[in-house]
Structure 1
């Protein structure tokens, strides 16, 4: 029997690339998403289904998991990929927007895990893969809200692996560096504040400038597949992020801070 993966946020970017790659490797793919309006022909393959799933609506999580089990009979791997970035100065972030950031990136991920865990335990094992970011290990300017959610995913995942090991369930974290997707243009929401306008403009210019030079998401998809099939106890995988994590680890904080500020902010008068 072919193995089955359920992926959240699979309509574009890393999620879509991951769905395509698992299909190429012969897996059954439940590519869940909020909208099918931009889904390509790959979704029509007989080993693919595209259930509706909005991680902020628990009833859709249950329905998507039920549909996947009805169609394929099992779930071997869960890939928690759905998410977006709330950027901008913390002083300009409203309580509602911060709550929605956590509802999507953290609480929705938790709800999906909690809903699928009885299935994995009953099956006698499986793998949970949480897509975090190098932004869960280090931080950049004007990204405090987003970083807070990714650091939460890191801590949650590292603790969860101890809880689930006895059930034969592995937990993996994917920490991508910068990837060329529509994330910067369409997966990012900006908070504003008049006293931070120049800083916001600098970071936006930097983000837009580097986007076209970033690697494609297919490399991350391959790493997710490697994590899904890795039977070891390895927790973290960092496609395109190793260099940043290494520099952050070995450079003095003063030098690291200088490099980041010079690169992303320049001189703001």
Structure 2
């Protein structure tokens, strides 16, 4: 029986993926900052809840060790934990900027480093990093969030080279707009009333997001794509999740900067 370790498994994509893999007969190490808040997930057969904060190296090491002790082996790690920071760069303190990168980028690296000795010893394993359509395209006021997701894309692609000879696979999952709490606890918006110059752009961003999020995909859609990525035996690196991801990423691939960015600006118009 195979085992997956998931970060950010308390809700949204992480929780849906935990349930999906458990239903498929896998062992699941479902990690989150407050596992006591997810008793229903923990009650499922072959699911182990563990506390893991991706900004806390000690909790990462402990959760990985617990999972290996419980199930004997980890086959797949899903780096899913993260959140989105949007707003004018000037409106963010350096503390909030560092928190965004600590969570979305350094957290991915820390978890990955923690499992690599285990994977190298077994000469097998799969690392799946949840990026976003925002890892290859950008939206207004998203310098922080897109900066982190572009970084996830780059570090994942580079890791693909160095780990493939060791029998370790790397996969990137790129969700589009998903029906999760991304606009709630997983969203950090900064707007400073002392910076009114950015107010029109914030209004435009609201219009854009309203159009893009009109028909979001369910978290279960991403869970299925993650399942496909975990079971991919070839060299495929990127996996899109959601029809909007297919449409937007295809457009970005085939259009020049002026054309694509111009289209985004048109969607922002009143």
With the length of structure 1 as denominator, give the TM-score of the two structures.
0.94
User: 2: distance between equivalents of 1:211 and 1:255?
Assistant: 22
- Cα deviation, residue 10, structure 1: 0.4
- Cα deviation, residue 255, structure 1: 3.0
Task: Say how many residue pairs are matched.
Answer: 265
User: 1: distance between equivalents of 2:258 and 2:97?
Assistant: 29
Alpha carbons of 1:255 and 1:165: their partners in 2 closer, same or farther (altered >3 Å)? closer
Alpha carbons of 1:197 and 1:40: their partners in 2 closer, same or farther (altered >3 Å)? farther
Give ranges in structure 1 of 5+ residues lacking alignment.
none
Alpha carbons of 1:218 and 1:33: their partners in 2 closer, same or farther (altered >3 Å)? same
Q: How does 1:236-247 map to 2 (within 5 A)?
A: 236-240=238-242, 241-247=245-251
Contact in 2 for aligned 1:184/1:211 (Cα 8 Å): no
Q: Deviations over 1:58-113 (max 9, x none)?
A: 00000100110111111000000000011011122221111111100010110100
Contact in 2 for aligned 1:4/1:74 (Cα 8 Å): yes
RMSD, aligned α-carbons: 1.6
- Cα deviation, residue 251, structure 1: 2.8
User: 2: distance between equivalents of 1:236 and 1:77?
Assistant: 16
Does 2:233 align with 1:234? no
Contact in 1 for aligned 2:35/2:50 (Cα 8 Å): no
Does 2:68 align with 1:69? yes
Partner of 2:220: 218
Alpha carbons of 1:254 and 1:214: their partners in 2 closer, same or farther (altered >3 Å)? same
Contact in 2 for aligned 1:5/1:76 (Cα 8 Å): yes
With the length of structure 2 as denominator, give the TM-score of the two structures.
0.93
Q: Which sits farther off after the overlay, 204-213 or 155-164?
A: 204-213
Contact in 2 for aligned 1:76/1:126 (Cα 8 Å): yes
